[in-house]
Amino acid sequence: MGRFGVSMVDVAPERFNPTAKQKEAHRLLKKNRILLYGGAIRGAKSHWGCMEIISICYMYPNSRWAMLRKDRVVLEATLLKTFTENFLNKGWQQHVVSFPQDTLVLTWDNGSQILFMGENYDRDKDLNRFKGLEINGAFVDEANETQEVTLDKIIERAGSWFHSPGCPSKILLSCNPTQNWVKKRFYDKHKAGTLPPGVAYLQARIFDNPYIPQDYLDSLKMLPPQSYRVFVDGEWDVAMKTGNEFLREFDTDKHIRANNWDVSNLIHVSLDSNVFPYIAVTIWQLVQNGTGWVIKQVNELPAIDPINTATKAGKNVGEWLNKIGYTLRVLQYGDKSTKSRNNIDDNKKSFYDLFTEAIAKEGFRIEDKMLKSAPPVAGIADFVNAIFAGEIPGLSIEIGENCKESINDYIETKTDKDGTMLKKRITDPKTKVSYEPHGHLTDTLKDFIVAAFHTEYLTFINKKKGLGVRALSGI
């Protein structure tokens, strides 16, 4: 009988040929009970899971394992197909004693078994199939398509099969980048260094798979930039549209540009005073285009802990302006609530005062461009979306590709029933601080545009109300 530490290439006469990244995943799995191998498409993650389960079945006679996809239809079209074509059809079929297609329970000649299962959550929300399930462990392929409660049930059942002495309990998962529970439970904690003991994450990239043809890799360059970052680069911190976006006309293909700042052109700073998850600060420039204007976001400076105070956030802006060699005045925008005076200190200075004073101390003159009263949010949303859609003559918007936090926020911020911005609150599990995760950078965008182009905004609203249109210009 072998041990789990035995190399995969030595577990059977039919030698495996794992990639370097698959070997790395194997080493991580040796040290941990649960491993998520997640990231880019075509990174050989499913192949790795099959290889690991076969290996441990061979090393530990009479062991019992589950291999799972979201339902049987998907299972047969994907994971089972990979298992059959890459393993059963390449030598492992001779070790199969039985594999009835009605139950999909494969029995090896050493008594080990693999139970191919569909989660079938739509038809079995109580997970009755998993009750009483006795297994040593499991491989959940594309875990992002399954429910978190299913993983909890597998954790509960893994190790409940006692007929293979010395067999370790292991849970393997694969997935592509997602914004659901998998990201929160694994990737975010991995990034923060807070994964619990015995749990590990390994990043997968398509380039880890040496068997991918170059022609296919070249064809992927035709994907939209956001899709390429998610599915090819395997980035998790990239948002994808899911519907009901506040900035519904924002299109990553059309509006993201490799633009940069011009120190000879005026810089506009837009501020939102929320403290968590950051103080939102965006940097803008206006470039004349004939008789119109290109509205360019050239940078973002979200102030996260420990600089998420008004003074430190303002100092950060001033230092950046000096760093790039900017010497002109700074035009300041944002929500008028930032000017509310506080009653904490004797000076009763507002968030706006503290922020702009910190910029001024770095050598810059501030020009206040905030509106005295904020227009209705739903109307601003319609106006900004009309600009994104190319429906406002002479105005267009470009977002710098370096503004990744902003781009994600513009995609993830949703519309409420009344046309305003939907802002749901969450609670940080570590700090217990309650905050709104989305919408703050989007606030800076809308507050800047409606103030900088207030005349055009009024023309747009009056036209919608049927009040007539006057020839109004400029900023």
CATH number at residue 400: 3.30.420
Q: Is 274 found in the same domain as 218? A: no
Mutual angle of helices 440-452 and 404-412, in 10-degree steps:
90
CA distances 275 to 301, 355, 446, Å, are 13, 13, 19
Burial of residue 282 (CB within 10 Å: 0-12, 13-18, 19+) is buried
DSSP labels, 21-49:
HHHHHHHHHHH-SEEEEEESTTSSHHHHH
> Shortest CA distance to 286 belongs to which of 76, 452, 101?
452
Closest to 256 (Cα-Cα) out of 281, 238, 278 = 238
Residue 475 located in a structural domain: no
Number of domains in the chain: 2
Strands (E), 158-291: 170-175, 199-204, 256-257, 267-272, 280-289
Is residue 310, in this structure, part of any structural domain at all?
Answer: yes
The pTM of the whole model exceeds 0.75: no
Q: Are residues 256 and 226 in the same domain?
A: no
Among 172, 201, 231, the domain-final residue is 231
**Cα four-point dihedral sign 191, 49, 117, 167:** negative
User: Exposure of 435 by Cβ count < 10 A (0-12 exposed, 13-18 middle, 19+ buried)?
Assistant: middle
Tokens standing for residue 58: 């061979």
Q: Which domain holds residue 105?
A: 8-231
CATH number at residue 70: 3.40.50.300
pLDDT more than 70, % of the chain: 93
The H or E element containing residue 139 is strand 137-140
CB 116 within 8 Å of CB 53: no
Does residue 247 fall inside a structural domain? no
Per-residue pLDDT reduced to its tens digit, 185-228: 999 999 889 999 999 999 998 998 998 999 999 999 888 777 88
Which sign, positive or negative, has the C-alpha torsion 323, 326, 329, 334? Answer: negative
What mean pLDDT do residues 167-171 have?
Answer: 97
pLDDT in tens, 220-241: 988 877 788 888 888 887 777 7
**pLDDT, tens digit, 9 for 90 and up, residues 40-58:** 888 899 999 999 999 999 9
The verdict on 134 and 173 lying in the same domain is: yes
CB contact set of 87 (below 8 Å; sequence gap of 6+): 50, 51, 54
414 DSSP β-pair partners? 245, 422
Pairwise CA distance, residues 307 & 323, whole Å: 18
Co-location of 224 and 256 in the same domain: no
Residue range 305-361, pLDDT digits in tens: 999 999 999 999 999 999 999 999 999 999 988 888 775 555 789 999 999 999 999
Tell whether 237 is covered by a domain.
Answer: no
Q: Are residues 13 and 75 in the same domain?
A: yes
Q: Considering the domain boundaries, does residue 241 fall inside one?
A: no
pLDDT over threshold 70, residue 128: yes
Indicate if 256 and 218 belong to the same structural domain.
no
Q: How confident is the model over 246-260, as a mean pLDDT?
A: 90
Are 189 and 315 members of one domain?
A: no
